[in-house]
Structure formats: C-alpha cells, structure tokens
C-alpha cells in the first residue's frame, strides 16, 4: 500500500511540475525573446569606429569616417591617408 501511495504522489508531483513548466513557457511573449541578427557574410552594412583597424578592398589599416579625423590622425602619425568608397560611403584609411 505504501508503494502505491508513493507512486501516486510521485506521479502527481511530476504532472504538476510539467504543467507549471508548460505554463511558464507559454506565458513568455515572443516579442520579448532576444533575436540575433544574422551575420552578414558579404561585409556590407558594417560600421567602423574611428581609428579601428579594418580591411576594405584588400587594403588594411586604420579607418576613419571623416576627412578631418583622418587628416588629424595622419598628421599625428606622420603619414598620409587615402579614400575608399563602399556601399555609397566614403572611408579614409591611413597609409
């Protein structure tokens, strides 16, 4: 008899645990779920931080988004810079 009572109690506990877990999973709002943007394998739509090392058109160097920032960095480092056009945006690269 004790075995039967123990089995009923265990079964009741298992059903209760599953129902509580199912309710909490259903109560989540899908809009609140974090979504990860897929990585862009083409490299388009990328933004560079000022002075960040990067590679554009096979050229690697420090990248700047404004002519003024590139001029200032080039003067500070005693070098020159050149322009790259990518997806309608002009980037300036030292070297």
> Per residue in 7-36, pLDDT tens?
788 778 777 777 766 555 555 555 555 555
Query: Is 40 a residue whose pLDDT tops 50?
Result: no
pLDDT band at 6 (very low <50, low <70, confident <90, very high): confident
Q: How many CA atoms lie within 13 A of 59 on its CB side?
A: 16
So what's the pLDDT on residue 63?
93
So what's the pLDDT on residue 70?
93
Neighbours of 65 (CB within 10 A): 16
Give the three-state DSSP class for 47. Answer: coil
Q: Is the pTM of this model over 0.85?
A: no
pLDDT tens-digit readout, 44-76: 456 778 888 988 888 999 999 999 999 999 999
Q: Round to whole Å and give the CA distance between 3 and 60.
A: 73
Query: Is 39 a residue whose pLDDT tops 60?
Result: no
């Amino acid at each position: 008899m004790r075995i039967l009572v123990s089995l009923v109690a265990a079964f009741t506990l298992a059903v209760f645990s599953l129902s509580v877990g199912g309710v909490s999973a259903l109560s989540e709002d899908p809009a609140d779920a974090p979504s990860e943007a897929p990585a862009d394998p083409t490299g388009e739509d990328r933004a560079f931080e000022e002075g960040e090392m990067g590679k554009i058109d096979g050229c690697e160097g420090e990248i700047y988004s404004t002519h003024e920032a590139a001029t200032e960095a080039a003067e500070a480092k005693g070098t020159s810079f050149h322009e790259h056009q990518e997806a309608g945006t002009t980037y300036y690269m030292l070297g």
